[in-house]
Amino acid sequence: MTIQAQRGPRGRAGAVAWVVAALVLLSGTEARPQESEPARQVTVFGIVAVPNKAMMDPKLKAIAPQLRRLLPNHGFKLLDVQSKRLTAGQTVSCDLGGGAAAATTLMLPFDDNGKVQLRCEILQNEVSQVATMVATPPNQLFFCDKARPDGSRILIGIGAR
C-alpha cells in the first residue's frame, strides 16, 4: 500500500485546505471553552474521487470548484468527516467504508518547535495497515492521496487548530 503525503500551500494541498475549511463549517462543530489540559481541535475527513464521473456529493457543493481543480474529470463523494477537541493520547476517526477507517491521534498539542504532533493511520477491519507520525504547524492542513485498485482515489485530509 503506497500513500503519498502532500504538504504546503500550493497545488493539491491548497485546494484541500479549502475542503477542510468548508467541511469543518459544514459539520457544525462548535467552539468549546478552554480546558485545563492543552488540547487541539483535530479534523479528519475522507472523500472518494472516481475518474470520469460527474457526480458531486451535495455536502461538497460549496467546495466543488476546488475539488474539480484538485482532480479534474473526477466525481466526488464525502465518505465521512469528524472533528473533535483532543488532548494528548486521544483519537478521532472517520469511516472510509468497506471496513476501512482513517484515525488520527494527538500525540503532543505543542512540541518544542511549536508544532502539533499527530499519529495518522489507515485501518482495515480495525487492524493498522499503515501509520506515520507527522509534526505540523497548527492550522496547516496535510493530506494523503491513496489510489485504489478500481482506479478511484481516497483523499484523507487532516488538520489541527
CB 118, CB 134: distance < 8 Å: yes
In three-state secondary structure terms, 115 is coil
Q: What's the pLDDT score for residue 18?
A: 47
| Residue 136 falls inside a structural domain | yes
- Distance, in Å, from the CA atom of 70 to the CA atom of 19, rounded to the nearest integer, reads 10
| Residue 100 falls inside a structural domain | yes
| Residue 141 falls inside a structural domain | yes
Strand partners, 46: 80, 156
pLDDT (tens digit per residue) in 121-151: 999 999 999 899 999 999 987 877 888 889 9
Please give the grid coordinates belonging to residue 141. Answer: 492542513
Q: Please report, in angstroms and rounded to a whole number, the separation of the first and last CA atoms in the chain.
A: 29
At residue 102, does pLDDT exceed 50? yes
Q: What's the pLDDT score for residue 142?
A: 80
Range of the domain at 101: 4-26+38-160
| Residue 31 falls inside a structural domain | no
Torsion angles phi and psi, residue 131, rounded to 5: -145, 150
Residue 63 DSSP symbol: G
Tell me what the pLDDT averaged over the chain comes to: 82
Mean pLDDT of 19-34: 47
Mean pLDDT of 89-99: 95
Give this prediction's pTM: 0.73
State how many domains the chain has: 1
CB 19, CB 138: distance < 8 Å: no
| Residue 124 falls inside a structural domain | yes
71 vs 105, which has greater pLDDT?
A: 105
At residue 27, does pLDDT exceed 90? no
| Residue 20 falls inside a structural domain | yes
| Residue 33 falls inside a structural domain | no
At residue 15, does pLDDT exceed 50? no
| Residue 99 falls inside a structural domain | yes
